């Protein structure tokens, strides 16, 4: 295995599968099976999930809602997604812990860095919910922050596309894929990888990012084995 400890970032939209809204149980089940296969190889896995399949703070702000209020609602959406993935992981036999940046004692533990690291060392998959616990920060920023805090070797951003392209491949048929790109090139070319706060955090702390298609069964394992799947930013 190329890595020892990884931070997997999943978008809330990825949990929708082919639905227009909410959670597709079959997609979550597929993710759980892929995560189990990698976990069984001895890797330590932490996960951050977005909430866009349930509620998007930025969209609500545009329709007139207070931004901070909307962002807190989005954080609660990420906890719903985290609970769904936690359930799926435990159904395939993985011990998990859900830690959130907002206290919800009945369903999860509060985020404490040393506790999170200890759970990973004990072989549990750790899911971080509720973003950073602060409005105005995305779950990409939460993923970058948690990766740095737990000293993850890499941030794996699972998306619907198989890497970073010169343009949006869903809109531009001539877009070409990068196999590897530097942080500086991403800035210079104005490519959309993560929001700028998250991206800068990873660059400053020398945490590489791999953008890949999580929906393709087996891709997660290939990356864990060091195969050149997706696009590496370093």
Handedness of CA 52, 30, 232, 82 (dihedral sign): positive
Please report the pLDDT score of residue 2 as a whole number: 86
Contact 10, 48 (CB under 8 A): yes
What is the phi/psi pair of residue 104, to 5°?
-145, 75
Q: Lowest-confidence range among 5-14, 40-49, 64-73, 162-171?
A: 162-171
Distance CA 131, CA 104 (A): 14
d(CA 153, CA 227): 15
| Domain extents in the chain | 5-233
Q: Is 213 part of any known ligand binding site? A: no
**Average pLDDT score over residue span 186-193:** 89
Does 157 appear as a known binding residue?
no
Q: What is the pLDDT of residue 161?
A: 84
Question: Is 10 annotated as contributing to ligand binding?
Answer: yes
Instruction: Return the CATH architecture of domain 5-233.
Output: 3-Layer(aba) Sandwich (3.40)
135 is known to lie in a ligand binding site: yes
Please report the beta strands in the chain, taking only residues with DSSP state E, as ranges in sequence order.
5-10, 44-49, 96-100, 109-110, 125-129, 154-159, 164-165, 177-178, 180-181, 209-213, 231-233
Confidence at residue 29, expressed as pLDDT on a 0 to 100 scale: 96
- Residue 137 labelled as part of a binding site: yes
55 annotated as ligand-binding: no
Q: For 40-138, where are the alpha helices, taking DSSP H only?
A: 57-62, 67-91, 113-121
Q: 159 labelled as ligand-binding? A: yes
What are the respective helix, strand and coil percentages of the chain, to the nearest 5?
Answer: 40, 20, 40
Does position 152 have pLDDT exceeding 90, yes or no? Answer: yes
Inform me whether the pLDDT recorded for 171 exceeds 90.
Answer: no
219 assigned to a ligand binding site = no
Q: Is pLDDT at 173 greater than 90 in this prediction?
A: no
Computed over every residue of the chain, the mean pLDDT equals 94
Q: What is the pLDDT of residue 53?
A: 93
- Please give the structure tokens belonging to residue 134: 């602060």
The response to whether 56 counts as a known ligand-binding position is: yes
pLDDT digits (tens, 9 = 90+) for 116-140: 999 999 999 999 999 999 999 999 9
Tokens 């869903």 label which residue? 170
Whether residue 93 is annotated as binding a ligand: the answer is no
168 known member of a binding site? yes
Looking at residue 168, its pLDDT comes to: 81
Q: What is the pLDDT of residues 87-106, one digit of tens each?
A: 999 999 999 999 999 999 99
Q: Any idea which residue has 């890497």 for tokens?
A: 163
- State the CB neighbour count (10 A cutoff) for residue 202: 26
* pTM, two decimal places: 0.94
Question: If you average pLDDT over residues 74-82, what whole number do you get?
Answer: 97
For residue 212, give both structure tokens: 């890949």
Rounded to 5 degrees, φ, ψ at 7 are -115, 115
Do the annotations mark residue 138 as ligand-binding? yes
132 is in an annotated binding site: yes
């Amino acid at each position: 295995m190329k890595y020892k400890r990884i931070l997997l970032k999943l978008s809330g939209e990825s949990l929708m599968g082919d639905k227009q809204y909410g959670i597709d149980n079959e997609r979550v089940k597929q993710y759980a099976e892929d995560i189990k296969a990698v976990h069984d190889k001895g890797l330590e896995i932490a996960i951050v999930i977005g909430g866009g399949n349930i509620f998007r703070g930025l969209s609500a702000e545009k329709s007139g809602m207070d931004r901070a209020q909307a962002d807190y609602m989005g954080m609660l959406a990420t906890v719903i997604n985290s609970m769904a993935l936690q359930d799926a992981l435990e159904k395939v036999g993985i011990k998990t812990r859900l830690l959130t940046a907002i206290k919800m004692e009945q369903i999860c533990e509060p985020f404490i860095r040393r506790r999170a690291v200890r759970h990973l060392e004990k072989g549990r998959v750790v899911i971080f919910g509720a973003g950073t616990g602060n409005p105005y920060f995305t779950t990409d920023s939460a993923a970058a922050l948690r990766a740095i805090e737990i000293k993850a070797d890499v941030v794996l951003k699972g998306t619907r596309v198989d890497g970073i392209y010169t343009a949006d491949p869903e809109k531009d048929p001539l877009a070409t894929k990068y196999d590897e790109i530097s942080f500086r090139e991403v800035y210079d070319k104005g490519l959309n990888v993560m929001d700028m706060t998250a991206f800068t955090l990873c660059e400053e702390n020398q945490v590489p990012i791999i953008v890949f298609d999580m929906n393709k069964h087996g891709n997660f394992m290939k990356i864990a084995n060091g195969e050149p799947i997706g696009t590496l930013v370093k």
